[in-house]
Amino acid sequence: PIFFVASTYKKIIATVAAPALKRAEIHLNEPVVKIEAQPRVSGTNHEVRVTTSTGTQFVFDELVTTFPLGWLKQNKSAFQPALPPILSNAIDNISYGQLEKVYIHFPTAFWDKQPTPAPTTNAKHPPSALQPTSQIAPSGISPFTEFLSPSYISHPATPFWNQECVSLSALPSPYAHPTLLFYLYGPSATHLVSQISPLPPTSKEYHDAIDTFLHPFYSRLPGYDPSSPSCRPTAILATQWQKDPWAGNGSYSNFQVGLEQGDRDIEIMREGMGVERGVWFAGEHTAPFVGLGTTSGAYWSGEAVAGKICEFLAGTGAGTGAGAGAGAGKLGSGIACDKV
């Protein structure tokens, strides 16, 4: 299932970042341009050398990288010596998506208005005891809307032009607000991003370009009235991951039709070059299969790598071989998912 964190990730990120902010040495605005990691030689001190765009060099015993899959595809030359062919091929084999999000805010949630606001309950399908009545979406209104192959708009010839929309007014109090979140992907996402990327997000041109793109969809929601100010967006913001090199010019990994042994490719990326060269990979593309492409999966992958390094340095043998165990304690929960 897909879950929304109604209060956003703000508190989660603050909690996760607190130990690093307190004790670590953090360098910002210094992109990594080179990672030098020779194969380990028994009986010698091993080190990994990282060079940034400023020419600064850092030396580590072990290195954990969280480069997005898209970045890895574009920057294999940053690794010296070159990546092993099996790892390089695995990076090539797994596709990198083009998902984008667009938030469009209105004065009120016009799509929620109904003649009869009373919640619908019956003996056959009563509200869950875990779901307070105040958090149930308005009766008869689904917070999720999908527009399948819309024929009422012109668009380039492409197999996909679907639009998905989530109503953030359906979130529990106090986080509900009159905003529609559109998910775009594939050619339609690229089409919109190409239109808005040169425009300042605060400009009228930016606002109008997105509104023109989305109006044919939100105007078909219940309660829409073209003459009502409540149905005119007051704020719009869209992601542009496809234009962001630090995001790898995309969103997250996915499995395309025709892929063979994608599970093995994921396991190879999980292994990285940790045992052989001290360079460990983490990120959503190395998560347990159930968590691929998710923030929770990215978090699990970080825990897993931490466990592997601890066990490797302790000489327990963990972390050897592709898809090896994720470590002790709660780290094991991620790997257990792969065995389901």
Q: What is the mean pLDDT of the chain?
A: 86
**Which of 108, 112, 120, 113 is CA-nearest to residue 145?**
112
pLDDT number for residue 150: 74
pLDDT number for residue 51: 98
**What tokens appear for 296 in the block?**
């929770």
Query: What are the pLDDT digits (tens) for 236-256?
Result: 999 999 999 999 999 999 998
pLDDT tops 80 at residue 184: yes
pLDDT tops 60 at residue 135: no
**Which of 334, 271, 268, 258 is CA-nearest to residue 303?**
334
pLDDT tops 80 at residue 158: no
pTM listed for this prediction: 0.82
Residue 299: pLDDT band (50, 70, 90) is very high
pLDDT tops 50 at residue 340: no
pLDDT tops 60 at residue 213: yes
Give all strands (DSSP E) within the chain, no chain letters. Answer: 32-36, 48-52, 57-60, 63-65, 79-80, 95-96, 100-105, 144-147, 163-167, 179-184, 235-238, 253-254, 279-281
Query: What are the pLDDT digits (tens) for 270-288?
Result: 999 999 999 999 999 999 9
